[in-house]
Structure 1
Amino acid sequence: MEDFYCREVLSGNTQVETVVDTKNVLAFYHTHPFYEEHIVVIPKKHITSFITVKEEESIIMSEVLSVIKEIATDMDDKFGACTVSTNIGDYQTNKHMHWHIHFGKRIRD
């Protein structure tokens, strides 16, 4: 199972530019952005997908959503809009729940 975030980011093997770092959540600029402004939000605990979140992980999810809201609000204030998304199933190439917050033109496929 591919998990770039545990293997590379959370382990420190790949350095990232941090946006927000809390007890349970890390937000950082995408390592290979698809958009002009592209931030990724991940839980520090391995959770495979949004649809696999367990009830006992609700505190972590609350923190994830709080960080997403903070970043989306900042982006909306700065640019007037943003997109917040997560992928599930076959659309999710990295099997560690993560959220994208982005704005601007697509800069790569």
Structure 2
Amino acid sequence: MMNDFYCDQVLSGKTQVKKVFETENVLAYYHANPYWPVHIVAIPKKHISSLITLEESENDLLLELFEVIKKAANKVTEENGACRVLTNLGDYQDSKHLHWHIVFGEKLR
């Protein structure tokens, strides 16, 4: 069974989130259980399991995703002076849905 919090909970509406930016194909929102003081997650609304499984036909979606990541990173940097943008792959990726973290501050846990 696939572990996909984003499809199962966020995109289904089972878990309510505070949206930061949204397009037709991408959602960025404040993490419901943050690991950093500022923690935004950006996801495609279409299920893509990870960065390394992206198909060439999904390049336009990737560009749209990066535009949203760029806006979120700019917002966090303007408000806090800095941010980190990161993703995880393989065993480091808990939820098997492509997602990026836009974060600021020292890790909370």
TM-score (norm 2): 0.96
Give yes or no for the alignment of 1:86 onto 2:75.
no
Larger mean Cα displacement after TM superposition, 71-80 or 61-70: 71-80
**Which residue number in structure 1 is paired with residue 29 of structure 2?**
28
- What is the CA–CA distance in structure 2 between the aligned matches of 1:78 and 1:17, rounded to whole Å? 17
Give yes or no for the alignment of 1:105 onto 2:82.
no
Identity %: 55
Report runs of 4+ in structure 1 exceeding 6 Å deviation. Answer: none
1:37 Cα deviation (Å)? Answer: 0.4
5 Å-filtered alignment, 1:29-108, equals: 29-108=30-109
What RMSD in Å do the two structures reach over aligned CA positions?
0.7
- What is the CA–CA distance in structure 2 between the aligned matches of 1:12 and 1:74, rounded to whole Å? 25
1:90 Cα deviation (Å)? Answer: 0.6
Unaligned runs of 5+ in 1: none
1:105 Cα deviation (Å)? Answer: 2.1
Unaligned runs of 5+ in 2: none
Number of positions where the alignment pairs a residue of Structure 1 with one of Structure 2: 108
TM-score (norm 1): 0.96
